[in-house]
Amino acid sequence: MKTDMGEYIVGAYLKIFKECNFVDYNVRLPGGGRKGLNELDVVGLDVKKKIAYLCEVATHIKGLSYGKNTKNTVKKIKTKYERHKEYADKYLSNFPNPCFMFWSPVVPKGNITTELEKVNGLELVINEKYAQCIDELREKAKKLTNDVGNPFFRTLQILEHLRRK
């Protein structure tokens, strides 16, 4: 599956601010079959601190929504979170402190955010927090000139270093 720009945003943040040595996108579960169709959007590994970041990314700019209603949306995110925990247990035992994150730029305030905030162990990077992470990346892009291997961050670097009159 093609990597989404929102996934590159998360990957840039993991690489630069969480100091992940390794970032991969659209990670499929081994073994094929139905389980192999599921994927983890972004996985980052900080080898030094032994922290794995498993991230679900929903880049819905008109507002987060899966299906017909709030209940469907929350259920789908919870299901993905359970899948991420299963993956960490099974394949990332060398990383004893996995961090599970849900990233989305526009999540309607109300039932969805209230229900997601109740999910124990899931860090939400949504709305203002998402915007704050983008701002941090922009500030870093002003200072760094080397290519870190992330197309989103490289674009920010170009934009932040434009010469204007």
Q: Which pLDDT value is given to residue 32?
A: 58
Mind listing the pLDDT tens digit for each residue in 137-162? 999 999 999 999 999 999 999 999 99
Instruction: Return the structure tokens found at 68.
Output: 């017909």
Please give the helix or strand (H or E) that residue 51 lies within, else none: strand 51-57
Q: Over 80: is that where the pLDDT of 113 sits?
A: yes
Q: How confident is the model at residue 128 (pLDDT cuts 50, 70, 90)?
A: very high
Owner of token pair 């943040």: 13
Mind listing the pLDDT tens digit for each residue in 24-80? 999 987 775 555 558 899 999 999 999 999 999 999 998 888 878 888 999 999 999
Neighbours of 80 (CB within 10 A): 21
User: How high is the mean pLDDT of the chain?
Assistant: 92
Task: Name the phi and psi angles at 125, rounded to 5.
Answer: -115, 85
Q: Which pLDDT value is given to residue 35?
A: 58
**What's the predicted TM-score (pTM) here?**
0.92
Instruction: Return the structure tokens found at 85.
Output: 């925990």
Q: Which pLDDT value is given to residue 30?
A: 76
> 3-state DSSP call for residue 153?
helix
Q: Which pLDDT value is given to residue 163?
A: 83
Name which CATH class applies to 5-127: alpha beta
Q: How confident is the model at residue 105 (pLDDT cuts 50, 70, 90)?
A: very high
Query: Are residues 81 and 119 in contact, defined by beta-carbon separation less than 8 angstroms?
Result: yes
